[in-house]
């Protein structure tokens, strides 16, 4: 003790909705997990969940559990143990491409087009994964090794549509980029993930003519033709309920009618220069809520209500669910990049074995959809979007990755639904397999009546 001297260490930090969070660095075990917890929670709208609601408590507890699990696994005294702090709390994943696309980093999946290349790019911290597994290099399709730290994008063989032609012509990746620059091609982004996860999606009549829907599941006969109270007060479930609720809210729910405009103020900085018409409408309404009865507001609300009626007339029903891009298990893809013959430390061998075990535990009849904003049932129905022909749907069970590896690496991919790469889900949905369906969008519904009707079918 007489020879002990205290060590002054630089603090570590992150940001949470614009606030800087600064805390103590290891060997303290509380600081870094706390920052990781804030990074996880930033992906969820806790205010919308409601303070201490079941969804709020579950989300908060899961974020804390995941962060503390990493704390027990990775953190120790930095004088004796190499700690992966920067990789765990870093947010610099797809920042460059997203900033070039929209001026800020808010998206995590990108549908891209290049000459002979078509598919999806999903933001995944594969640098950390491969490094933790002891893999230092990646070998491309032409046998060229690349240091992991120098790789920014990984394209699979199925995304490169002209690969077979290039191989037949004796061309390699360098030849491709030479032609790319010579003809001044560019990366074309055709779609991106949504900034916030969806809670509802739309069905159409093509699907409703496929499943065995009962009368009471579609709309019970004892329901009124018009509502003098919210349909939400009826505890039963039926297919048109959410559509009727949306119409009622726009017509008669005064709190909803005000909140519909006030959303334009959410997340907006007061010093922002560009202010839209919606922003000014929201600002006036916030100052004086009685303006909600003025024509400029009532006309907009009535137009939305009429839009719901027109969609209802052609069979577009609002149900619990979301639209997501179909993908094979991305953890299986990452494991396929590992160098099997690489010498590893004890810690790397442990992580390497855990990755293989997690990848093998994905059931064939299940799906994994990170970041859902509504309670998930035991099963869900996946539908092709657009639903063109009969039977372009499949029912799968919900897979909860209790070992946290998928949750840690893919929690930001709220527009992706993963299935086992070995199953025939893509073929069932009217395609040619996962290898040829990169970037195709599918609806995912957890509506109880819909899933029951699909199960009977």
Using the 8-state DSSP alphabet, how is residue 160 labeled? B
Look at residue 389 in the predicted model and tell me its pLDDT: 63
Look at residue 99 in the predicted model and tell me its pLDDT: 63
Are residues 105 and 84 located together in one domain of the fold?
Answer: no
Q: What is the DSSP string of 169-218?
A: TT--HHHHHHHHHHTT---EEEEE--SS--SEEEE-HHHHTTS---HHHH
Are residues 325 and 182 located together in one domain of the fold?
Answer: yes
- For residue 90, what pLDDT band results from cuts at 50, 70 and 90? very low
Among residues 31, 59, 89, which one ends one of the domains?
Answer: 89
Residues 120-140: tens digit of each pLDDT: 888 888 888 989 899 999 888
**What are 347's two structure tokens?**
């810690």
Are residues 39 and 183 located together in one domain of the fold?
Answer: no
Are residues 51 and 70 located together in one domain of the fold?
Answer: yes
Are residues 332 and 441 located together in one domain of the fold?
Answer: yes
Look at residue 16 in the predicted model and tell me its pLDDT: 79
Q: Is residue 31 part of a domain?
A: yes
Look at residue 380 in the predicted model and tell me its pLDDT: 81
For the ranges 69-78, 79-88, 307-316, 380-389, the lowest mean pLDDT is seen at 79-88
**What are 262's two structure tokens?**
């006030």
Q: How far apart are CA 237 and CA 241, in angstroms?
A: 7
Look at residue 266 in the predicted model and tell me its pLDDT: 73
Are residues 77 and 104 located together in one domain of the fold?
Answer: no
Query: Residues 412-435: what's their mean pLDDT?
Result: 72
What range defines the domain where residue 148 resides? 95-194+320-456
Q: Is the model's pLDDT at 246 over the cut of 90?
A: yes
Look at residue 354 in the predicted model and tell me its pLDDT: 87
Look at residue 300 in the predicted model and tell me its pLDDT: 93
Query: Residues 109-130: what's their mean pLDDT?
Result: 86
Among residues 89, 111, 127, which one ends one of the domains?
Answer: 89
Q: What is the pTM of this model?
A: 0.69
Q: Is residue 280 part of a domain?
A: no
Are residues 27 and 117 located together in one domain of the fold?
Answer: no
Are residues 33 and 132 located together in one domain of the fold?
Answer: no
- For residue 301, what pLDDT band results from cuts at 50, 70 and 90? very high
Query: Mean pLDDT across the chain, nearest whole number?
Result: 79
**What are 447's two structure tokens?**
């509506």
Are residues 33 and 150 located together in one domain of the fold?
Answer: no
Question: Cα angle at 98 between 282 and 355, to 5 degrees?
Answer: 115
Are residues 68 and 101 located together in one domain of the fold?
Answer: no
Domain count, the chain: 2
- For residue 390, what pLDDT band results from cuts at 50, 70 and 90? low
- For residue 24, what pLDDT band results from cuts at 50, 70 and 90? confident
- For residue 233, what pLDDT band results from cuts at 50, 70 and 90? very high
Residues 164-220: tens digit of each pLDDT: 888 888 888 889 989 989 988 888 888 888 888 888 888 877 666 667 788 888 899
Q: Is residue 56 part of a domain?
A: yes
Q: Nearest to residue 33, comparing CAs of 24, 45, 42?
A: 24
Q: How far apart are CA 434 and CA 349, in angstroms?
A: 31
Q: Is residue 259 part of a domain?
A: no
Are residues 119 and 138 located together in one domain of the fold?
Answer: yes
Helical residues (DSSP H) of 219-329, grouped into ranges: 241-252, 254-262, 277-287, 295-313
Q: Is the model's pLDDT at 432 over the cut of 70?
A: no
Among residues 73, 89, 105, which one ends one of the domains?
Answer: 89
Top pLDDT among 453 and 363 is at 363
Are residues 178 and 327 located together in one domain of the fold?
Answer: yes
Query: Residues 224-238: what's their mean pLDDT?
Result: 91
- For residue 436, what pLDDT band results from cuts at 50, 70 and 90? very low
Look at residue 392 in the predicted model and tell me its pLDDT: 74
- For residue 1, what pLDDT band results from cuts at 50, 70 and 90? low
């Amino acid at each position: 003790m007489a020879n002990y001297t205290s060590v002054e260490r630089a603090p570590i930090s992150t940001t949470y909705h614009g606030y800087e969070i600064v805390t103590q660095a290891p060997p303290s075990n509380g600081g870094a997990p706390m920052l990781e917890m804030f990074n996880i929670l930033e992906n969820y709208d806790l205010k919308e969940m409601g303070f201490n609601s079941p969804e709020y408590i579950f989300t908060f507890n899961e974020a804390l559990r995941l962060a503390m699990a990493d704390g027990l696994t990775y953190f120790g005294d930095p004088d004796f143990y190499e700690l992966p702090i920067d990789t765990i709390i870093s947010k610099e994943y797809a920042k460059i491409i997203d900033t070039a696309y929209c001026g800020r980093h808010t998206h995590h999946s990108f549908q891209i087009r290049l000459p002979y290349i078509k598919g999806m790019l999903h933001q995944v911290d594969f640098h950390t994964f491969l490094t933790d597994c002891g893999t230092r290099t990646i070998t491309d399709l032409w046998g060229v090794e690349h240091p992991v730290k120098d790789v920014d994008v990984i394209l699979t063989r199925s995304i490169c549509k002209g690969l077979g032609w290039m191989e037949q012509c004796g061309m390699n990746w360098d030849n491709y980029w030479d032609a790319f620059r010579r003809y001044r091609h560019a990366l074309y982004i055709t779609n991106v993930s949504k900034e916030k996860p969806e809670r509802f999606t739309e069905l159409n009549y093509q699907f409703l003519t496929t499943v065995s829907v009962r009368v009471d599941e579609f709309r019970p006969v004892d329901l009124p033709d018009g509502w003098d109270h919210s349909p939400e007060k009826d505890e039963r479930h039926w297919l048109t309920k959410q559509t009727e609720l949306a119409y009622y809210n726009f017509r008669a729910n005064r709190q909803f009618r005000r909140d519909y405009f006030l959303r334009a103020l959410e997340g907006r900085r007061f010093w922002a220069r560009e202010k839209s018409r919606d922003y000014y409408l929201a600002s006036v309404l916030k100052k004086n809520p009685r303006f909600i009865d003025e024509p400029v507001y009532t006309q907009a609300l009535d137009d939305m209500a009429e839009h719901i009626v027109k969609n209802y007339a052609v069979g577009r029903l609002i149900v619990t669910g979301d639209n997501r891009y179909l993908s094979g298990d991305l953890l299986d893809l990452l494991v396929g990049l590992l160098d099997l013959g690489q010498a590893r430390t004890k810690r790397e061998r442990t992580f390497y074995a855990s990755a293989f075990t997690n990848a093998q535990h994905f059931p064939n009849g299940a799906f994994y959809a990170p970041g859902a904003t509504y309670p998930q049932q035991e099963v869900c129905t996946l539908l092709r979007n657009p639903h063109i022909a009969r039977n372009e749907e499949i029912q799968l069970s919900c897979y909860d990755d209790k070992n946290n590896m998928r949750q840690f690496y893919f929690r930001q991919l709220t527009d992706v639904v993963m299935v086992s790469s070995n199953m025939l889900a893509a073929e069932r949905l009217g395609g040619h397999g996962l290898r040829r369906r990169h970037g195709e969008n599918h609806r995912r519904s957890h509506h109880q009546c819909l899933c029951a009707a699909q199960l009977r079918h």
